Structure 1
Amino acid sequence: MTQQDNAFPPQLRLKKATEFKRVFNDPVKSTDRYFTLLARSSDFDHPRIGLAIAKKIIRKAVDRNEIKRTVRESFRLRRQTMPGVDIVVLVRNEARNTSMEILRQSLEKHWLKLVSKCATHS
């Protein structure tokens, strides 16, 4: 894998409200005590990700940013194995006081689950 393959370019991010709404309208879900991931097949040949981390759940910006970095890094490392799918990651209350290693493990399970669910849902 080259440095370019490991990059996280803007094309891999959901940015517009319409992109988020599309995923929220008819999602394939994967949920555990730390995260709820919503996914929907897209017309792109690569996966894209959007994050929704409420201040109400994770109050400190430093903690929200750490969780965002963890989610993005996990996605970046896994994206080569994913089909064209749009994913929105919602953080749940339990993630607040949990180690980043446990959150990474949780995300790994979600990525695998979503890939198989989206393949059968299409």
Structure 2
Amino acid sequence: YGAFDIMKGKTGEDPLKVFKTAIENAKPLIEVKPRRVGGATYQVPVEIRPQRRLALAFRWIRNYARNRNEKTMILRLAGELLDAFNNVGSSIKKKEDIHKMADANKAFAHYRW
């Protein structure tokens, strides 16, 4: 709740709306999974089911908030959520990296089963 108070003070918007938008922005749509085919391991892009998307977004925001330099966890979490709300920050970079990796390996998408 302390993080919500900080977010309201910094954005002037409803903190629940900011939180939901931050989670939506951090959700990945696609990831790569290793598939072994004939002695070679390919990184095959697969779509992520909605429950896992939400879990990954929560996990990334929590983990990257822990690694921030602010003094208290409330400030760290508020900072990471605001970064995700503004489409910047570590959790958004992680999502973009996952999407880039999936895009780079889309030639192996036919190995999906």
TM-score, with length taken from structure 2 = 0.33
Q: Larger strand proportion, structure 1 or 2?
A: 1
